[in-house]
Chains A and B, each alone.
Chain A
Amino acid sequence: MAGADLDRDQAELRFRELYRANFRPVQGYAVNRLGAADDVPDVVAEVFTIAWRRLADVPPPPADRFWLYGTARRVIARRYRSASRLRNLLGRLAAERYPMQLPPAGAIDPVTEHMLAALAELKATDREALLLVHWEQLSYAEAAQVLGCSANAVGIRVHKAKARMRALLGEEPGGGRRVAVIGPNGATDGS
């Protein structure tokens, strides 16, 4: 019994450090993917619940944060797939485009609004690589740990994402179509 108590104490000590060091980053990740959605606390709770239950699988710092980000990514994807099924809204499209819920009109400046709208147009895997590097400030090697791919693959995805962003934002000669911002009532604001 004493052994079990010791294990529990050690586990709690480790989890406490993990929690304290990563609570804010994981919350930031969820906010970055979901905006100010009300289910951010639920996502954070689920990520740390998984970490507690699978503490033996969590790598030591600094890789623990990448493990948590990867878990958060899967949690969000699963929750939104479930939500899509339950509410029968936009189905698969909604599930694939979950990260880029646009904030209400007027909540952010037009430049940022166009940037977010352009991000929503990217292929999901390219976008996630780009965001991990620019929003979570990870290196390619660190982002590779989150995504379960090579650092080289992250570099390629980021490069592709940036090229597409420039095209969408009309910053390349002969760039692709501009982004239409979809307003709360479905009104489009083509730019």
Chain B
Amino acid sequence: MDLDTRLTEAAPARRLPLDGPDSPAAVRLYQQITAEPPSARRSRRRRLAVPALIGVAAAAVAAAVALALVPGSPARHGGSQGGGATLAAWSVIKEKHGLLRVTIRELRDPVGLRQALREAGVPANVRFLNHNFTPTTSTRDLPKGCLNPRMSNEANAKLQGKIMPMNPLPLGGVAVNIRPSAIRHGIGLYVKAWAASPGTRSGAYLSLQIDLVQATPQCTG
């Protein structure tokens, strides 16, 4: 067999089944991407927020969800603190089937969000960062003494999927579904939110990363 043929046959994609554009994952991704308004301007460079995905990489122990938030666009549901045309900085809304829908619109009042989550049965800590942040699976970004639950990465990823299901797709801002009943005893959530544009506290490209952590005083307080 000549080199050209062997080269062609060595392509990894020839041995792996690829998803089509109609697969559930592809459809979900399409919906997530187009939930954001398109850019009308030509631009050579633009700061990019991490795409909207829940990461379940083999080495990952963190779930990263990041969605663009359109300044001034209404969420599909009113905020818990909102009134009239003003939307709350964040909202925790009980949906059907035991789901909570958490939406963040502005990086204000993390303590209030933490309290609202706890009242809804989610042991959580919430940090709103003042700086841009690259989602990471490193535990260095957790507080000292705060650890991930002791389980394999695969089990962690599976549990993330149960606690934070993507169906129904959480639209309308930086939003995530949380199923409190799926959170096992001793496990909590560590929520980090930040704005990709330095100096802003709301508007474009708010992002969110949620880690599963041990529900200890160091992690969830």
- CB pair A42 B18 closer than 8 Å: no
- Chain B CB within 8 A of A108 CB: yes
In Å, the complex CA distance between A32 and B16 comes to 10
Whether A57 touches B12, Cβ cut-off 8 Å, given contacts A86-B136, A115-B7, A134-B7, is: no
Taking CB atoms and an 8 Å cut-off, the chain B residues in 39-77 that contact chain A are 39-44, 46, 48, 50-53, 55-60
- CB pair A32 B60 closer than 8 Å: no
Whether A49 touches B48, Cβ cut-off 8 Å, given contacts A38-B56, A111-B6, A166-B3, is: yes
- CB pair A44 B20 closer than 8 Å: no
Report B192 CB to chain A, min CB distance, Å: 15
Q: Which residues of A contact B18 (CB under 8 A)?
A: 24, 27-28, 31
Report A99 CB to chain B, min CB distance, Å: 10
Task: Kindly specify which of B21-29, B79-87, B120-128, B170-178 makes contact with the partner chain.
Answer: B21-29
- CB pair A41 B25 closer than 8 Å: yes
Task: Kindly specify which of B30-38, B142-150, B195-203 makes contact with the partner chain.
Answer: B30-38
In Å, the complex CA distance between A44 and B12 comes to 16
The answer, among B12, B25, B34, for a CB contact under 8 Å with A36, is B12
> Which residue of the partner chain A has the closest CB to B55?
A42
Residue with the highest number of chain A CB atoms closer than 10 Å, among B13, B37, B48, B50:
B13
In Å, the complex CA distance between A12 and B32 comes to 13
In Å, the complex CA distance between A54 and B136 comes to 25
- Chain A CB within 8 A of B119 CB: no
- CB pair A57 B3 closer than 8 Å: no
- CB pair B34 A12 closer than 8 Å: yes
Whether A19 touches B19, Cβ cut-off 8 Å, given contacts A82-B134, A112-B9, A130-B7, is: no
In Å, the complex CA distance between A31 and B15 comes to 10
- Chain B CB within 8 A of A92 CB: no
Q: Which residues of A contact B136 (CB under 8 A)?
A: 86
The answer, among B25, B43, B59, for a CB contact under 8 Å with A54, is B43
Report A110 CB to chain B, min CB distance, Å: 12
Report B46 CB to chain A, min CB distance, Å: 6
- CB pair A24 B19 closer than 8 Å: yes
- CB pair B40 A23 closer than 8 Å: no
Q: Which residues of A contact B34 (CB under 8 A)?
A: 12, 15, 52
- Chain B CB within 8 A of A48 CB: yes
- CB pair B46 A53 closer than 8 Å: yes
- CB pair A36 B16 closer than 8 Å: yes
> Which residue of the partner chain A has the closest CB to B11?
A135
Q: Which residues of A contact B32 (CB under 8 A)?
A: 45
Q: Which residues of A contact B43 (CB under 8 A)?
A: 54, 56-57
- CB pair A52 B33 closer than 8 Å: yes
- CB pair B3 A165 closer than 8 Å: yes
In Å, the complex CA distance between A169 and B8 comes to 16
- Chain B CB within 8 A of A96 CB: no
Q: Which residues of B contact A111 (CB under 8 A)?
A: 6
The answer, among B21, B38, B53, for a CB contact under 8 Å with A42, is B53
Q: Which residues of A contact B10 (CB under 8 A)?
A: 112, 115-116, 119
> Which residue of the partner chain A has the closest CB to B49?
A49
The answer, among B7, B13, B41, B53, for a CB contact under 8 Å with A31, is B13
> Which residue of the partner chain A has the closest CB to B39?
A53
- Chain B CB within 8 A of A11 CB: yes
Chosen A-B contacts, 19 in total, with CB atoms closer than 8 Å, are A15-B38, A28-B18, A31-B16, A32-B13, A35-B12, A38-B56, A38-B59, A41-B29, A42-B57, A48-B29, A50-B48, A53-B38, A54-B39, A55-B38, A56-B43, A57-B42, A112-B6, A115-B7, A165-B7
List 4 A-B pairs, minimum CB-CB distance, nearest first: A45-B51, A38-B57, A28-B13, A11-B38
List residues of chain B with CB under 8 Å of any chain A CB.
3-4, 6-13, 15-16, 18-21, 25-26, 29-30, 32-34, 36-44, 46, 48, 50-53, 55-60, 134, 136, 138
